[in-house]
Structure 1
Amino acid sequence: MIKALIFDLDDTLYYEMEYVLGSFKEVAHYLGNKYIKDSEVLYFRMEQILEESGRGKIFNIICEENGFKEDINDLVDIYRSSVPELELYEDSREVLNWAREHGYNLGIITDGSSKVQWNKIRALGIEKSVDKIIVTDDLGIEFWKPHKRSYLEMVEHFKISEDECVYIGDNPGKDFIGAKEIGMKTVRLLREKGDHIKVFFDEKYEADLNITNLLELRNLLENNQL
């Protein structure tokens, strides 16, 4: 019997690109004010670079194109300190409320810069909706998923067995390996949007089953199919 639902955060409970774009706006606003440039133009250029080249060198390219004399680390810090407006997916909110009402233990395990992830958590207002949150960066980068430590800490925190937990995530490259190794059940959420929706690996990496929204998870739990 499942007693705990453990969730990934980014692109599982909310659309992570909302954070990225909101943080770009903070950087664009800073640069626009400092160099008397149109911050909207800078922001839209950042969006364009993101679509063309990915996230790696966006601030470098913006500075090179405009002749901005900036320490890129300072811009990264502005990005990481940003707390843009974020919203949970509607089905996330609904299922978290349902799970709380039905006595499930609720947790989140998320990778990424500790400052960034906690800013996201605060922006989403999700701390009161779950019992335990583990930002793996707080443990050390060597304990980011797929390392087993965060999954084991959840089991220990809730004082239940591994097979009484289900981990729900979106990224087969890291979300399910550690969970499966310790005996957790795993569910992959394939939403319409997200960085990993077109990524598929072999059985070792994939979850036990796939769903397209969290209402399906609720139905599975209600019918004792997990």
Structure 2
Amino acid sequence: MSLALVLDLDDTLYPERAYNFSGFRAVGRHLAAQRGISGFADCCVALFESGARGDIFDQALARLGVTADVAELLTVYREHAPEITLFEDARTLFERVRGKLPLALLTDGYAAVQRRKVAALGIADHFAARVFSDDEGREAWKPSPLPYLRVMNLLAQKAEEFIYVGDNPAKDFVTARKLGWQTVWVCRPGAVHQVEAVAPGFEADIVIESLTGLPWHRYGL
């Protein structure tokens, strides 16, 4: 059987919090240059580490006692060139499978943002197919079957030949399993999407803490 390895991006190939912090720094530089406001990035990091999500910019501005156009700050955040690097086990994976298994990327999130991440990591050429679910609109984000079916069409392989490796059981695996794919949850300590309990039907076939834990012997590698 000819297998195909499909990879998620955030917290699978690189630490997602590194992107968050990179974005905070970009917005902090913007505010310092445009408004003379200092300490914004550090405030955002502290809020993030305390568990804040979603309205971090509003909270940071309130803590600093200043106002700003949050929509403008979000644009700076989303359009910045991220300072991110691969997990070391992701580098090892790319070296191990080069020329042996076809690779595909399947990722959610704003397509332009995700493409900038791929460019910053320098990994585009590793993939025979790159599917950004947002290209088909927000309704095509996982767990929609659309991006999975697109991967299957691009690689032209049978469902049972696909292995999907992702970090978020709330959306990554339920559709893949329904389609007949094999699934692997890389449950990294410190990941942004921490899950205490996985809902029935949303589990992965295998759970690992690092890509080095992939059962390579099953894949003939």
Q: Structure 1-normalised TM-score?
A: 0.91
Query: In 2, distance between residues paired with 1:220 and 1:149?
Result: 30
Q: Deviations over 1:58-80 (max 9, x none)?
A: 21123334454422111000000
Give the distance between the partners of 2:51 and 2:195, measured in 1 at CA.
18
SS class of match (2:214):
helix
How many residues align? The count is 221
Task: For 1:215, give the aligned amino acid.
Answer: T
Please, what is the CA RMSD of the aligned residues? 1.8
Aligned equivalents of 2:194, 2:160: Cα separation in 1: 26
Tell me the residue number matched to 2:90.
92
Alignment of 1:153-192 (within 5 A): 153-192=150-189
Matches of residues 136-155 of structure 1 in structure 2 within 5 Å? 136-155=133-152
- TM-score, normalised on structure 2? 0.93
Describe the SS at the equivalent of 1:101.
coil
Local SS of the residue matching 1:87: coil
- Structure 1 132/223 Cα, relative in aligned 2: closer, same or farther at 3 Å? closer
Distance 1:151 1:22, change over 3 A: same
Structure 2 counterpart of 1:47, one-letter code: V
Q: Which runs of 4+ in 1 moved over 4 A?
A: none
**2:43, 2:90 → 1: CA distance?**
32
Q: Which amino acid aligns with 1:64?
A: A
2:121 aligned partner, one-letter code: L
Q: Map of 1:77-226 to 2, 5 A cutoff?
A: 77-102=75-100, 104-217=101-214, 219-222=216-219
Query: What's the counterpart of residue 27 of structure 1?
Result: 27
Shift of 1:37: 3.0
1:154-184 deviations in Å (ceiling 9; x for gaps): 1111111000110001111000011111111
Query: Any gaps of 5 or more consecutive residues in structure 2?
Result: none
Structure 1: distance between partners of 2:37 and 2:92: 42
**Per-residue deviation at 1:218?**
5.2
Q: 1 CA distance for matches of 2:107 and 2:196? A: 19
Structure 1 unaligned segments of length 5 or more: list them. none
